[in-house]
Amino acid sequence: DTATCGKVFYSASAVSAASNAACNYVRAGSTAGGSTYPHVYNNYEGFRFKGLSKPFYEFPILSSGKTYTGGSPGADRVVINGQCSIAGIITHTGASGNAFVACGGT
């Protein structure tokens, strides 16, 4: 999966790295650094994530290309389900308040 969030393009390897990190934390029941990520994503926006079912978890995907380890999460998130399948990539960029919109290509 590749995605474009605002003006930021994420390669398939970047999406995969972020989703794999999220999966490892979910399976271990832990979070990145002192952060709250990954955490349950309630999908108040009503996205249809490739027909996948909840629970969903959101985890930052960083424009720097590095894997999130704590600190500022930025605007963009990879979403996985409980089986660690990539559900989609979402962003706060262009959304109102604390809501999300889908990134292009997802």
Catalytic residue among 2, 9, 39, 82: 39
81: annotated active-site residue: no
Closest CA to 77 of 23, 32, 37: 37
pTM (2 decimals)?
A: 0.95
Q: Which domain holds residue 94?
A: 3-102
The phi and psi torsions of 62 (rounded to 5 degrees) equal: -100, 140
Domain of residue 49, CATH code: 3.10.450.30
Q: Which of 59, 61, 78, 92 is catalytic?
A: 92
C-alpha count within 13 angstroms, C-beta hemisphere, residue 9: 2
pLDDT digit string, tens, across residues 77-86: 999 999 999 9
Residue 45 a catalytic site member: no
Among residues 17, 38, 43, 58, the one annotated as catalytic is 58
Domain count, the chain: 1
CB 76 within 8 A of CB 64: no
| Residue-wise pLDDT tens digits, 11-64 | 999 999 999 999 999 999 999 999 999 999 999 999 999 899 999 999 999 999
Residues 60-63: contacts with CB under 8 Å, at least 24 apart: 60/18, 61/10, 61/14, 61/15, 61/18, 61/89, 62/18, 63/8
